[in-house]
Each structure stands twice: as structure tokens, then as C-alpha cells.
Structure 1
Amino acid sequence: MGDGPKRRLPLVGGGAPGAPSPRSGGAPGAASPRGATAAPEKRKLPVLQSGGDDEGEDRPPWHWIALGTVATFIAWLPLAGLVNMLLRRMLERAGDAEAPIQVRLAMVGLNVVAFALAGVAGGYLVGRFGGRAGRREAAASGAVVATLAWALALSEGAPAGALGWALLLIVMVAIGAAASYAGGSAGLRGRSGGAPKAR
């Protein structure tokens, strides 16, 4: 066998120095400028669209009145149960005639404190996560809770008279709205990145 000409296999990605890349669109045989390096091809990464990061802000503000009402009730019920359990034990231990009056006054005062704390908690939820909702919706949720609690007490038939019940409603609504308004203000201050335009 005669020795024929040796063939060289082409290397992938290789090429003669100065040979243009097929992507560069240069003419065959044209040498690249001396000292120039081929620019890497730019790749565009796919942009992922955010999927509902501001979902809470899309809710109508009045939705947060209902959510604040539910949150206030959830916070108030265990607090009221704990307060009344402690006061019931105090009432059972009282033996003289003046002790029940003091215990009843303490019962009213501690229940007011428990209701106010629950209003602050519910209002804070509205102010912190309420999107376009703000102090006004937080105060409205506290007023709704106070009205429902007043209606529940009225249905039990406690003797208070029409004037007494009217005054009790005003006092409860004022306490609930004020406490929830304060909680909503604290929630607005706690928002990350600054609070949106809320009332």
C-alpha cells in the first residue's frame, strides 16, 4: 500500500487562527484584528413574572373591616374567658357583703381592658396587612365588634333600662373604635417599605 496523504479530522470549536466564526458573519479568510478578542454571545434570561406578591393590597378596604372584626373576636374570647374565670374564683372566695361589689367593679374594668387589647390586636392586623385599608377600616372593625357584643348582652335580658343600654352602646363603640384605631396606626407604622396611601 502506498502512503496516501494524511487527513486531519476537524476539531469541534476549533479553527485556524484568524478564521472567522460562522456566527460572526465575516468573510472566509479574513483575519480578525490583531489583539482583538471575540465577544461572548449575550444570553437573555427569562423574566419570571411575580405571582401575586401584593395580593393583600388588591382586596377592597371593606373586606378588611370583616377580617378585623373576626380577628378582634378571636383575640377577645380567650382574654374574656380568662378574666371571667379569675373573677369567678374571687367571687366565690368573697364572704362579706362589700366584696361582691368590688369584684363586680373589677369584673367590668378587666373586661374593658380585655376588650381594648383585643381591639388593638385586630386593628393592628388591618393596619399592618390591609393594603389600601388603614385607620378608618380598623376603627370600623372595632365598632362592629362592640355593637355585636352589645347586641349579645341585650339579648340576655340584663336589667339596664333603655337609657342604660344606649349609654352602654356609646361607651362600647367608643372604646372599640379608639382601641382598633390605635392598633391600626401601629400597624401602618410597622409596614415594610413605607405604608401605602391609606387612611
Structure 2
Amino acid sequence: MVDGPKRRLPIVGGAPPGAAPPGGGTGGPEKRRLPVLQSGGDDEGEERPPWHWIALGTVATFIAWLPLAGLANTLLRRMIERTGDAGAQGSVRLAMVGLNAIAFVLAGVAGGYLVGRFGGRAGRREAAASGAVVAVLAWALALTEGAPAGALVWALLLAVMVAIGGASSYAGGRAGLRARSAGAPRSS
């Protein structure tokens, strides 16, 4: 190693060594400020088109429905384990349909509420559409499982599921719109 004074390498576009810093400041390097990319939060960018909220409501409904259906089916499994006689099987099947329908309704209301509350230009119609899409997807999944039933039964099941999904999501969207208008800042 060389024991001597340290040499500084020249900086392209910089002042020659030993020159006074610009602006009469100290000899340290000039600080550069980076541009701020985020604004104060007033401008959040472009608003999503309403049809995006149908997809978001569909995903939200599925996310809410899966744990609710899991809980309902766990309760039903315990009911089936308790009842060993053949006479109770009819009531267990009725409970199975009822609990799963309640789980579907609650999930539809939750997904519709999300669309209504945060949907921008989306409203009740998009919320109802998201519930109907969930119903069609769930019906198609059940159809691929191959449960034995005729075409008329499957068509009726589709109509009932779309009606339940659309109505519950519509109600959730309506509640979300009311919450949005209640939480909106009032201008004087």
C-alpha cells in the first residue's frame, strides 16, 4: 500500500479539485432529491369499470363461502355420526340442503356488500351478477361431480341457485351502497 495523500477521482460534470463548491456551501457533495411518485392520496388513479367488480364480487363470495360451507358440512357430519337409524336420514338431508343454502346466502351478502360499498360506479346490478356467476360456477362444479339426476332436476337446481345467489348478492350490494352513502363526506 502507498502511504501518501489520498487522491480523489474526478467526477464527470463536477468541479475541478480544489474549486469552491457552488452556491457558497460546504465542501460536501450536493444532495439530490428524488421525485416523489406517490401523491397525497387524493388521486388514486383510474376507477375500475363496473364489470371488474363482478369478478371481484365473485372471488369475494367464493372466499366467504368456502369456510362457511366447511363449517356447515362439519356440523352435518357430526349429525350423521349421531343418527344411526334410517328414519333420521331424511331430516339430515334436509339439514344438509338448508345449512349449505344459508352458507351460500351469507357469502352472497358478503360479496355483494363488498361490491356495493367499494365498487365505485358498480352497484346493485353488478353485485347481483357476481352472485349469479358464483351460482353458475358452483352448479357447473356439482354437475361435473356426476350426481345422478335428470336434466330437468339440474335445470331447476341451476334456476334456484342463480335466484338465491343473485338475490342475496343484490341485498348485500344494496346494504353496501347505503354504507357508502352514509360514510361519504358531506359537502356544504
1:133 corresponds, among 122, 133, 139, to 122
2:32 counterpart of 1:80:
no
List, as ranges, runs of 4+ consecutive aligned residues in structure 1 with deviation greater than 2 Å: 48-55
Q: Which runs of 5+ in 1 are unaligned?
A: 1-47, 195-199
1:145 corresponds, among 114, 128, 134, to 134
1:170 corresponds, among 155, 159, 165, to 159
Which AA in structure 2 matches 1:193? A
Offset of residue 62 of structure 1: 0.4
Offset of residue 76 of structure 1: 0.2
1:22-57 Cα distance to aligned partner (Å, 9 max, x none)? xxxxxxxxxxxxxxxxxxxxxxxxxx96445455x7
Q: Which runs of 5+ in 2 are unaligned?
A: 1-37
Aligned residue number for residue 60 of structure 2: 71
TM-score, scaled to structure 2: 0.74
SS of 2:146's partner is coil
- The structure with the largest helix share of the pair is 2
In structure 1, distance between residues paired with 2:44 and 2:120: 8
In structure 1, distance between residues paired with 2:177 and 2:103: 23
Mark the CA change 1:54 to 1:186 in structure 2 (over 3 Å): closer, same or farther: farther
SS of 1:132's partner is coil
Which AA in structure 2 matches 1:117? L
TM-score, scaled to structure 1: 0.70
2:109 corresponds, among 95, 120, 135, to 120
SS of 2:72's partner is helix
1:87-111 Cα distance to aligned partner (Å, 9 max, x none)? 0111111121111110011000110
- Mapping of residues 1-199 of structure 1, within 5 Å: 50-51=40-41, 53-55=43-45, 58-191=47-180, 192-193=183-184
Which AA in structure 1 matches 2:184? G
Select the structure of larger CA radius of gyration: 1
